[in-house]
Amino acid sequence: MVRVVAAGHVNWDVTLRVDDLPEPDGEAEIVSQLRSGGGSAANVAVALAGFDVETGLVGSVGDDEHGLLAQRELQDAGVGLDGLRVVDGLETSVKYLVVDGDGEVMVLGNDGANEAVGPEDVDPDVVAGCDHLHLTSQRPATADRLAELADDAGATVSFDPGRRLGDRDFSAALDRTDVLFVNDNEAEAVLDEEAAYPGSDFSDRVVVVKHGSEGATVHTPSASYSHPGFDIEPVDTTGAGDAFAAGFVAVLLSDDDHERALEFANACGALAAQHEGARTAPTRPEVRSFLDGQF
């Protein structure tokens, strides 16, 4: 049995690093390119497996070469694939990530087989034995079904809905969420127009607000903690948020210390942003070494 199940998108990424973004009718030089697995749920699953947390994945790929490559990477990382659906006749979602000289990312892509998992496709046994479910962007009905199964199994639920939060009705899954990850803009969508935690519908749960390069804040029913982040030179921020979420969940599962989880998560995001690609989450020893060097 796996301890954590991550659910959501599984992509194949093509990362193009450019010297600068071109003007209309202009041209930019591709400094480097990298092909690797991606997708928020898959990234979190790989990161957690790298922290020696037994992790499974619920998601979908097509029956094509990119799907085979994505599966191979996940298997090599030690991620359980009992919940991965391979869909005949559909292409695996491919994302083209354009990274500029400042490490900022622009994404071009197709959905492909990304959301082929409907609520009726979820195997209850995949979730029944886990301690924790981590949701990322996916069909709202599927997210709700997964959260319901986790709730029935006595597992905790975290949710990082991402940029589509304002466009999709995740209210049912959010009602079952114990730990919510949002950025500053997303916080306004789920808390209130001023992003205030006290008095909101989420004041009885844990809300982690990511501030980009300015660190993050975690609100809990008993206290709030802030961490300023770390002063780094970002190379590629593609997988930094997923590394952050994985780090937070890993610490929370081991000792339920929100303040330490926040520091560890910020370190994971900072280290991930210093490398190209989406699968750049560090190991526990790398995080400890990084944190030791800060003091």
Which residues lie below 8 Å from residue 66, measured CB to CB, with a gap of 6+?
12, 91, 92, 94
Locate all alpha helices (DSSP H) within 94-157, ordered by sequence.
Answer: 124-128, 140-152
Pairing of the two strands 206-210 and 224-227:
unpaired
Tokens for 79? 């991620």
User: Which residues does residue 99 pair with via DSSP β-bridges, in sequence order?
Assistant: 17, 105
For the question of residue 257 being annotated catalytic, the response is no
Closest CA to 78 of 159, 6, 162, 138: 6
- As a whole number of angstroms, the distance between CA 160 and CA 181 comes to 5
Phi then psi for residue 20, to 5 deg, are: -165, 155
| Active-site pick, 204, 231, 242, 257 | 242
DSSP conformational letter for 281: P
Active site residues: 242
